[in-house]
Amino acid sequence: MTDRERMLELHRILKEAGQAYYAQDTEIMSNLEYDRLYDELVELEQKTGIVMAGSPTQTVGYSAVEELPKEAHECPMLSLSKTKEVSQLQSFLADKEGLLSWKLDGLTIVLTYENGRLLKAVTRGNGEIGEVITDNARTFINLPMRIPYEERLILRGEAVITYSDFQAINDEIAEESLKYKNPRNLCSGSVRQLNSAVTVQRHVRLIAFTLVQCEGREFITRQEQMEFLTSQGFETVEYRRVSMETIPEAVQYFSQKIEHFDVPSDGLVLCYNDIAYGESLGRTSKFPRDSMAFKWTDEERDTTLTKVEWSASRTGLINPVAVFEPVELEGTTVSRASVHNVSIVRELKLGLGDTIRVYKANMIIPQIAENLTCSDNLEIPAKCPVCGEDTEIRSVKEGQFLYCTNPRCPAKKIKAFTLFVSRDAMNIDGLSEATLEKFIAAGFLHKFQDLYHLEQHRETIISMEGFGEKSCDNLLQAVENSRTTTMAKLIYGLGIAGIGLATAKLICNHFQNDFEALSHGSIEELQSIDGVGEVLARSFAGYFEDEAQLADVRELLKELRFQEEEASPDADRLKGLTVVITGDLFLYENRSQFKAAIEAVGGKVTGSVSQKTGVLVNNNPASTSNKNKKAVELGIPIMTEEEFAEKYLQ
């Protein structure tokens, strides 16, 4: 394991321990062990001269701005000429040596370091002018904040979100139409957030691909530059050194690897390894002459559309899926492709029997490239395929989606129960979607609380196909075990549109797991929670505005036991002290963590300064912000985060 890999491992271990201690009031390691690992990280940072973003040894705060400032690039960023032919790459390279690397599909960022520290980060923008996102870049999970090299250094890299992180983020969003479309769009929106507290939740990473300027150092080859960037702590793009003869083999290597590559990529980049030679070629008005992009040639097949399946979800959204005659694509047989929504159905002018051209996007996801016959005779269902009730087309974001209007549609019920019993919700093992469908059809389940009375149907369940006494008893025990849970898991399990487990935890922590308080929380108060925007706030508040739903949840609460945090000896030490936190934080990773530490010893955190406020925490006591002015006016002490922690939290 390299020093850099060990440092990243220590980041993860120490952050998990800190999160458990401050946010969950539990200890997963002793103070002695924590200090030992912390000291090891300090030693490695001193040894390498590298300090990564988010290092537990650092004090990175999150900030918000009203708009992102613009800045002109010192060196304009041009696009690359493109080809889909390997032979053109060979002709381009000729008798020279080159580097072939991934063309990553994210957002290009220009980073400037001075005196070994990150000075600024700017997006590509239009190539001439970009947006300054320095505070957001400081939250990238693998970006060095300090490097050994102290002269001016400028590099370019791609901000990306991996497929696995993208999937995890989307899994937290219950409403299908609100899920993010692809990692690139999510990354672009995350990097350009006005509030860096949002960026930190998105697991953005930076992969360096070009050294633009390095004062005081001369390099002969691109490979030397990449090795230098690696030595400074940057994660660099994977590359292979190639000649005209070895290019086909290298392209084949990348084309095979992309099938399981976790970082989005839409091709490759070939550049001359000899820097001086590449620069001597100059550039056209559009492209530099020292490099070329290679775009994957999507393998396409023509086939016949046989039907479109309309699949209903628990939210009422009905998703269209194209079913076609099976074809071989990229080594596998495919016969289905999501059409996503009504807008795309109409754009493609689909009709049964049409000849469609299909491919795998980025060699992975089956898609319809085009409709060659465009009969446009496909009817949008007027009735739900599950319950037969009316459907309606609704505009959501920039697309049109089909919804079932029946609030008691069985599909909604089955999918809702499936979420409720899932591992991250109530965690009732043994209740598959197929089993739930049987129980609902048998009349056992109408509301969530009915799950806790399944023992009334024990004899009937034992007689069902796939069940016996043992399996039935195991299921009933799993149901009984699920009675002990947390408020956040319950809230997530309710299936409120857009409210994933992480958001449920934020809301429950804010309202101190008080159901009556959170169920009556106003949209304004919900929006004041870091990580909860207007859409989620309205969705959450709207759920509990339905009196029937609220009554059902109250009945459900009678079946459950909520785990209480183990009280610490000084749990009431700050009882009666109201604290307001404002501005950037340094000791704590985020405001939620700081709030949890205060509440763990009995304090209360609010969002505005009033006569009831005991302390205003602001790392800039001389700030002229409204909160500072109000505190001065009311004679409320203003303390830095460190001063507050030393006085109240030690």
Catalytic annotation, residues: 103
Distance of CA 105 to the CA centre of its chain: 16
User: Sign of the CA dihedral 447, 450, 452, 454?
Assistant: negative
> d(Cα 210, Cα 219) in Å, to the nearest integer?
13
> d(Cα 474, Cα 582) in Å, to the nearest integer?
51
How many CB atoms within 10 Å of residue 200?
A: 24
> d(Cα 175, Cα 95) in Å, to the nearest integer?
55
- Going by C-beta distance under 8 Å and a sequence separation of 6 or more, which residues neighbour residue 501? 172, 424, 425, 488, 489, 492
Nearest in space to 380 (alpha carbons), one of 410, 360, 350: 350
> d(Cα 193, Cα 132) in Å, to the nearest integer?
11
From residue 248, alpha-carbon distances to 83, 89, 179, 296, 505 in Å are 14, 9, 38, 13, 50
Beta strands in 434-575 (DSSP E): 484-485, 561-562
Sheet (strand 239-242) strand order: 82-83, 291-295, 265-272, 98-104, 239-242
> d(Cα 259, Cα 365) in Å, to the nearest integer?
10
| Residue 563 one-letter amino acid | Q
146 touches 59 (CB < 8 A)? no
Question: Residue 172, SS3?
Answer: coil
| Helix (H) or strand (E) segment spanning residue 549 | helix 547-557
> d(Cα 632, Cα 638) in Å, to the nearest integer?
8
- Going by C-beta distance under 8 Å and a sequence separation of 6 or more, which residues neighbour residue 322? 305, 308, 336, 337, 338, 339, 350, 356, 368
Measured at the alpha carbon of residue 279, what is the angle toward residues 276 and 282, in degrees to the nearest 5?
A: 150
Nearest in space to 229 (alpha carbons), one of 121, 132, 142: 142
- Going by C-beta distance under 8 Å and a sequence separation of 6 or more, which residues neighbour residue 321? 308, 309, 310, 311, 336, 337, 338, 339
522 touches 609 (CB < 8 A)? no
404 touches 316 (CB < 8 A)? yes
| Residue 374 one-letter amino acid | C
Question: What Rg do the C-alpha atoms of the chain give, in angstroms?
Answer: 28
